[in-house]
Each structure stands twice: as structure tokens, then as C-alpha cells.
């Protein structure tokens, strides 16, 4: 039986397919799709190696997570480089020891979650390391950052970390926050995961497959590199994206109120210890894209949330750095993040470092004499 496909000549009776082909051909198509998808998955797993689980991370009944002291681990975001994390004797991500502050040096304690930790970014590229280097150079004084931040933090219990920070006798404290962090504060550690509450159906299985598929990550990486489609999809996130839509929903108002209370407590503790605090607001990637674009869909305001956080900082007498302003001055702020993962990349940390260093020079008496330029925003830091 010939399998060659030839269109019948005009006037000829149309050639018919054997009956079996009505089954075989669609099956072949389906098989091709499956093989291509499997091939794409294998290729993506080779090209986009991912190892995000930090071997040094351990559960903590109070804080949610913390890092094993004197531990070294390797992690890698699918979109980023291999990163070696080293945690000092206190379990902080800092190369300097956490013991007594060396005489004549300036110490800054960093608090927060993954963004503050410099998650998935090599240490030397984190904002903490960069700001320390910039200030050391500008002030001719040894400036060290002790990074107490940790991914997976139970944000609502940040206050419990403040005592450890004060014990370091820092000259300043920096707290970095992203909108997503405020949602994390609602996490209840003893609550069973939703997936365990319901037996997974077919839809859940597909959902899980897609969530764990590296090909999907690779595909998203290329799709999300362009801010337009990323923002469009992000705005459909529902509650998670509602922080971009003022007036804020009841849920987001509650989160802001909780955060206000949290900051009041933290500020009071630091104030009592005589330590100035700087709150750094880092926009989400979609927000950064909107800020760069200088155009937002109706009902969306990328500035509003940062202004609310700023008001909270002001009410509590905390220094405030809002990355929004600086991001709005560059055309490609979305490029400062890993497109799919959403954390700041090395470039994003570089951008943040300069803002933090400038603010610390204003807020920290030990650093006010430094000759670092305060006037530059610095838009150039974001350009690679």
C-alpha cells in the first residue's frame, strides 16, 4: 500500500485514505507532540539547571527558618548562576564574624526575607556586599553588613529577629521589604498544606506537572523577558496583584495595618537601643516594569503601595528608601530581576546597593562624613 501523498489530478476520483489512517495519523500527531514536549523538558533541564534548596537552611520553631552556623551551600536559580552561600558562626550570610564589632568599624544589620538575603545572587553581587564595599571605600572606614535575612521567613515574626540584631551592636539596621512579604506574614506554620487537604485530581496533577516542568520555566523565561506580556499576566493574579490597585482591597489594607504595627514595635526596640533604622521598599517586577513604562492600565497605580509603606516608615520615625523613584528613571527596570523567579538579579542588587549606601550616609552618624555622591539617583547603576 503506497503511503505517498499525492493530490488527485483534476477530474480523477478523489483518493481515499485507508480507514486505519484515520486513527494512525491523529495518534502520530499526538505522539509527536508528546515527544517534543519531553524533548523540550530534557533540553530545558540541561540548559536551565535549578537547585534552589539551600542545604544550610533549617526549620526554626520561632522564626520559621534559619541557617545552620558555619555552613556552606550551593544553590542555583534556573535563570541565574551557581551561588555559594556561606553562613558565619551566627548563621548569618556574611563573610565577617558575628562576634564583637572590630574597633573603628561600622556595622549594619540587615533584616528581611529573600530579597534582603540576596537570594540566588553570588555574595559579592548582593546589595549588602556592594553597599559595604562602596561605603568602605567612600568613608575610609571598615563597613560590614551582618545579614540576618532569610528566605522563607515568617515575616510577621520579624520582631523576634530584632533582639539578635541589637545583640550585634550595629550602627544601623536595614530592613528590606517587597509587597509579597506582606502576604507571607499570614502564613501559619502549623496549618497543613492545601495540597494535603484534598486528594489530587487530574487537574491538580496537570497543575503540579506544569509547576515542576523546567520547560515551562524556560518558556516563561523567554516570554517574561518582555515586560508587556509579564505585566498583563501579573495583573490577572487577583489578590496577589491587588496591591497595585488603589484604593486597596480589604485584605491589603489589613496587611498594611499589620505591617504598620510590626514596624512600630521594631522601631521602638531599635530606638531604645539607639540604632537608626532604614526601611527599603523593593517593588515587585511587574511594578518595576510599570514604573519604567510610565504608563499603567486603568485602575493600576505602581506608586501607591510604595507611598503607603513610606507613610508607615514616616509614622514610625524610620528612614525610608523607595526604589520606585529610581526605577522610574530607567527604561528597563524589569531587567533588574530574574524574569520568572522574580527576585532581584545581580544587576538589581547593584542598583539597590547604591540607594542603600546613600541613605545610610544620611541616617548613620558614623557615615555622614563620607564623600560619596548623594546627588546621583543613580540610574546608571541599573544599566548593564
Q: Per the structure block, which three cell numbers stand in for 207?
A: 497543575
Q: What are phi and psi of 67, to 5 degrees?
A: -110, 145
Per CB under 8 A, contacts with another protein among 109-148 are none
User: Of 2, 188, 191, 197, which one interacts with another protein (CB under 8 A)?
Assistant: 2
Which of residues 99, 229, 265, 365 is near another protein by CB under 8 A? 229
Among 81, 99, 200, 228, binds another protein (CB under 8 A): 228
Whether 210 and 216 have beta carbons less than 8 Å apart is answered as yes
* Nearer of residues 18 and 192 to another protein, judged by Cβ: 18
What are the φ/ψ torsions at residue 172 (nearest 5 degrees)? -160, 160
SS3 276: coil
x/- letters, 24..53, toward another protein (CB under 8 A): xx--xx-xxx--x-----------------
Q: Are 152 and 375 in contact (CB under 8 A)?
A: no
Choices 188-196, 218-226, 321-329, 337-345 (CB under 8 A): range interacting with another protein: 218-226
Is 250 a binder of another protein (CB under 8 A)?
A: no
Taking CB under 8 A as the criterion, the residue among 72, 124, 208, 226 binding another protein is: 226
Q: Which is nearer to another protein, 24 or 58 (CB)?
A: 24
Residues 6+ apart with CB under 8 A from 201: none
Query: CA-CA distance, 287 to 230, in Å (whole number)?
Result: 10
Nearest residue (CB) to another protein, 5 versus 193: 5
- The alpha-carbon radius of gyration of the chain (Å, integer) is 25
Q: Which position has the grid cell 533588574?
A: 336
Q: What single string gives the DSSP state of each residue in 93-134? A: S-SS-SSSPPTT-EEEEEEESHHHHTTTS-GGGSHHHHHHHH
Q: How far is the CB of 146 from another protein (least distance, A)?
A: 42
Question: For residue 28, how far is the Cα from the chain centroid?
Answer: 42
CA distances from 167 to 173, 273, 381 (A): 12, 10, 33
Query: Can you tell me which of 223, 254, 371, 384 binds another protein, judged by CB under 8 A?
Result: 223
Q: How far is the CB of 271 from another protein (least distance, A)?
A: 50
- Rounded to a whole number of angstroms, the distance between the first and last alpha carbons of the chain is 62
Least CB distance to another protein at residue 35 (A) = 9
Residues of this chain, 3-22, that bind another protein according to CB under 8 A: 3-8, 10, 14-17, 21
Say which residues have a Cβ less than 8 Å from residue 265's Cβ, sequence separation at least 6: 159
- Write out the three cell numbers for 177: 521589604
DSSP-based three-state secondary structure for 35: helix
Residue among 24 and 206 whose Cβ is closer to another protein = 24
Q: How far is the CB of 42 from another protein (least distance, A)?
A: 15
Contact string (CB under 8 A) for another protein, positions 54-93, x = contact? ----------------------------------------
Report the phi/psi class of residue 347: left, alpha or beta, with left for phi > 0 and alpha for psi in -120 to 50: alpha
* Cβ–Cβ < 8 Å for 74, 82: yes
Nearer to another protein, 229 or 371 (CB): 229
> Which of 82, 187, 222, 237 is in the footprint of another protein by CB under 8 A?
222
Instruction: Provide the grid cell at 96.
Output: 565577617
Strands 57-60 and 277-281: unpaired
Residue 29 CB, shortest distance to another protein, in Å, is 4
* Residue 194: CB minimum distance to another protein, A: 30
In the complex, the residues that contact another protein under the rule CB under 8 A are 1-8, 10, 14-17, 21, 24-25, 28-29, 31-33, 36, 219, 222-223, 226, 228-229
Amino acid at each position: 500500500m503506497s503511503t505517498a501523498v499525492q493530490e488527485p489530478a483534476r477530474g480523477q476520483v478523489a483518493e481515499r485514505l485507508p480507514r486505519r489512517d484515520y486513527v494512525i495519523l491523529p495518534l502520530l500527531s499526538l505522539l509527536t507532540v508528546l515527544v517534543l514536549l519531553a524533548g523540550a523538558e530534557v533540553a530545558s533541564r540541561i540548559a536551565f539547571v535549578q537547585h534552589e534548596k539551600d542545604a544550610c537552611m533549617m526549620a526554626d520553631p520561632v522564626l520559621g527558618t534559619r541557617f545552620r552556623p558555619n555552613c556552606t551551600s550551593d544553590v542555583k536559580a534556573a535563570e541565574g548562576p551557581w551561588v555559594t552561600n556561606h553562613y558565619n558562626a551566627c548563621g548569618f550570610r556574611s563573610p565577617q564574624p558575628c562576634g564583637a564589632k572590630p574597633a573603628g568599624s561600622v556595622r549594619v544589620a540587615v533584616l528581611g526575607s529573600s530579597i534582603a538575603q540576596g537570594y540566588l545572587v553570588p555574595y559579592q553581587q548582593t546589595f549588602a556586599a556592594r553597599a559595604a564595599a562602596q561605603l568602605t571605600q567612600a568613608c575610609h572606614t571598615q563597613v560590614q553588613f551582618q545579614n540576618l535575612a532569610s528566605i522563607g521567613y515568617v515575616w510577621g515574626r520579624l520582631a523576634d529577629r530584632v533582639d539578635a540584631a541589637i545583640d550585634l551592636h550595629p550602627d544601623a539596621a536595614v530592613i528590606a521589604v517587597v509587597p509579597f512579604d506582606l502576604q507571607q506574614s499570614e502564613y501559619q506554620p502549623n496549618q497543613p498544606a492545601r495540597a494535603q487537604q484534598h486528594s489530587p485530581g487530574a487537574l491538580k496533577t496537570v497543575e503540579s506537572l506544569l509547576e515542576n516542568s523546567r520547560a515551562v520555566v524556560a518558556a516563561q523565561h523567554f516570554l517574561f523577558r518582555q515586560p508587556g506580556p509579564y505585566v498583563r499576566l501579573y495583573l490577572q493574579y487577583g489578590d496577589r496583584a491587588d496591591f497595585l490597585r488603589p484604593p486597596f482591597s480589604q485584605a491589603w489594607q489589613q496587611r498594611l495595618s499589620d505591617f504598620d504595627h510590626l514596624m512600630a514595635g521594631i522601631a521602638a526596640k531599635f530606638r531604645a537601643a539607639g540604632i537608626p533604622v532604614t526601611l527599603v521598599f523593593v517593588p515587585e517586577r511587574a511594578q518595576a516594569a510599570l514604573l519604567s513604562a510610565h504608563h499603567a492600565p486603568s485602575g493600576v497605580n505602581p506608586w501607591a503601595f510604595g507611598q503607603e509603606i513610606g507613610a508607615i516608615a514616616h509614622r514610625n520615625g524610620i528612614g525610608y528608601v523607595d526604589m520606585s523613584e529610581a526605577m522610574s528613571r530607567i527604561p528597563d527596570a524589569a531587567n533588574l530581576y530574574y524574569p520568572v523567579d522574580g527576585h532581584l538579579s545581580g544587576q538589581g542588587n547593584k542598583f539597590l546597593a547604591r540607594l542603600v549606601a546613600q541613605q545610610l550616609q544620611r541616617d548613620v552618624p558614623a557615615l555622614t562624613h563620607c564623600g560619596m555622591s548623594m546627588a546621583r539617583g543613580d540610574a546608571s547603576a541599573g544599566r548593564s
